[in-house]
Amino acid sequence: MERNFNLDENTGKLYLATSSKIDKDESFKLYVEARDDGSPPLSSIATVMVNVINQHNNPPNIDVNFISTQNHNTATILEDIKVGSFIAYVMVTDNDVGHNGEVNCHIKDDTFKLQSMGSKEYKIVLKKAVDRETQEHYHFTVSCEDKGLPALKTDKDLSIQVLDVNDVEPHFTKDTFKFLTYENDKANFPIGFINATDPDIGKGGELSYSLRNKQQYRLPFQIINSGFISTNQSLDREHRDFYEFEVFVKDNGSPSLNNTVNVEVEVLDRNDNAPYFTFPSVDPFTLNVHYHPQSKNDITVLKASDIDSHMNAFLRYEIVSGNERQLFKLDSFTGVLSYSRTVYQNDAGSYELEFVVKDSGTPVLSATTSVSLTLTVSNKTSPMFTAVHLPSDNTIDATLLIIIVVAAVIVSIAIVVSITLCIVRCNNVRNSSSERTAEEKQAYQCRNEMRQLIYQGNNSVPVMSGNRGEMSDRYGHSRSHYYPEDWKTSTMSRSLPKSMKQKYSQPIEVTSYGDNRPSSHYPTDTLTSRKSSGQCWSERSSRQYEEIPAMSGIYGGAPPDVSSSSERDHYQDRYVKPPERQLPSTPDVVVS
């Protein structure tokens, strides 16, 4: 107590020590002794009661005690703690009197709250659930304020860390993982990566993978803890081209959580299988074919197969050999074997055909087969082969091309020469025709049918009835007649004297009378003769004919200048009788 008060020895004054600090109301009991300086000295003791009344306003003091502490101001809680759980104890002290000592405390936070336990005592509890994977640390402040004038306030910062609990199962980034890989790769070839996550920490975030097979076949795959899937043997697409299985993943927490995901692996094809013929099924194959003109062009269909897929199984067909005569063609895509040209009788025989089928892969694989084809041809087909052989692949032979060019040049030259000759002839005809008389030009202009011939006679005029046939006079007597052609080609015409030929060179119609009545008159009027060409007659020039005495002797009368009977008989035999063979002549006008 002496440190709080001082006493003057001479005057007996009692006062507070300057270094003394009294923050609260206290009562002090002091014993003061008074002594004189006599001998012996005498003394007396008095009791002094000192009541200290605090007139100061001090801020409150906050003291927090956590259930689980990491350091002085940080507490730890598990993320699976229940709502309303007790977290920390808070005690507030304020030694002021009156309103200066009355204190209110609170915190501003959505996760935690402060509940009063009595006078200046509080507890902190959990207001809502916490999730470490969402928020791992929480910071808030406890504030306490008295009711003095002025009011004094004290804040204390607190921190709470949420500890992890293995409450989250592993999660895959996809519902189904799909991978592609090629066949024939070596073992341990990587297929793909399975991506799974676990937000837990520690053991709860450590994952382990394994394969689960739903099928009956053995899986040729393996997986490691990092999630990589690889093969444990070489794959064969022709054996199996699709695999489906599950990947199982679990964490190492306590308790352990797990999950599964579907995995699909498609095996892509490599061109590792050659095509093969399904028809013909044997090598060599014998095929007998009979051809007749009504036969269809198709002969048979070659078929092949390839166990590879896509472009590796896209097949093309070709004829390798045996088709030197270019009689057959083969469709590259359908395999249809047919005739490439007309089949002739000399095409009959045996053909050793060799075919090849190729795929479209890389590298190209192929297969060959032989067909022994025997062709029989119907007798109704053309006996000779005259078609031009075309080389394979629709190309034209160089020799054939030269022949075509030479033939075209020769034909062109012949046409040019013909045109030139025609022009020359036309010029000559045009020059010669200009020299002809007007009468001759008029004779050639029109071709009309000869309608009538006017003969001058004693009592009758012969009339020609149309074309070849009989003629009748006005008395109705039937008369046979010679045509100008017969007249011109007859022996008599050739045997007449030269003077008569010149005078009577024009063809005339001659009438034979049944009553041997001489025809002593011949036409002296205009005689129009025409040359028949179908129904068209070329008009000849009109000429005047005089009377020919005794010409009727040709048809029964005495021949001219013939007096004796023997000579007349000879003349009749020679000229009147129809000649057995007529010699060719060049008449001026031929009537057909």
Residue 446 per-residue DSSP state: -
pLDDT tens, N- to C-terminus, the chain (592 residues): 567 788 888 888 888 876 566 655 677 888 888 888 888 888 888 888 887 766 667 889 999 888 887 776 788 999 989 999 999 999 998 877 778 888 999 998 899 999 998 888 999 999 999 999 899 999 999 999 988 888 889 999 999 999 999 989 999 999 999 999 999 999 999 999 999 999 998 888 999 999 999 888 899 999 998 899 999 999 999 999 999 999 999 999 888 999 999 999 999 999 999 999 999 999 999 999 999 988 889 999 999 999 999 899 999 999 999 999 999 999 999 999 999 999 999 999 999 999 999 999 999 999 999 999 999 998 877 675 444 444 444 545 678 889 999 999 999 999 999 999 999 988 887 776 665 555 555 554 544 444 444 444 444 444 443 444 444 444 444 444 433 444 343 334 444 444 444 444 444 443 333 444 444 333 333 333 333 333 343 334 333 333 334 333 333 444 444 444 555 555 455 444 444 444 444 344 333 3
The answer, as to whether pTM is greater than 0.85, is no
Is the N-terminal amide bond of 518 cis, ω within 30° of 0?
no
What kind of fold does domain 276-377 have according to CATH?
Immunoglobulin-like (2.60.40)
Q: Distance between CA atoms of 568 and 501, rounded to whole angstroms?
A: 20
Q: Which residue has the tokens 């009689």?
A: 327
What kind of fold does domain 61-163 have according to CATH?
Immunoglobulin-like (2.60.40)
The sign of the torsion formed by the CA atoms of 120, 121, 127, 131 equals positive
Bridge partners (DSSP) listed for residue 30:
48
Q: Distance between CA atoms of 383 and 370, rounded to whole angstroms?
A: 29
393: tokens are 């692949």
Domain ranges of the chain: 5-52, 61-163, 171-268, 276-377
Q: Distance between CA atoms of 280 and 301, rounded to whole angstroms?
A: 9
Residues whose CB is less than 8 angstroms from the CB of residue 276 and which lie 6 or more positions away in sequence, other chains included: 304, 305, 306, 367
Strands 242-251 and 543-544: unpaired
Q: List, as one string, the DSSP characters of 204-267.
A: GG-EEEEEE--SSSPP-EEE-TT-EEEESS---TTT-SEEEEEEEEEE-SSS--EEEEEEEEEE
171-268 belongs to which homologous superfamily? Cadherins (2.60.40.60)
Q: Fold match between 61-163 and 171-268? A: yes
Q: Distance between CA atoms of 285 and 215, rounded to whole angstroms?
A: 44
Q: Distance between CA atoms of 77 and 127, rounded to whole angstroms?
A: 13
Q: Which residue has the tokens 């010679």?
A: 482
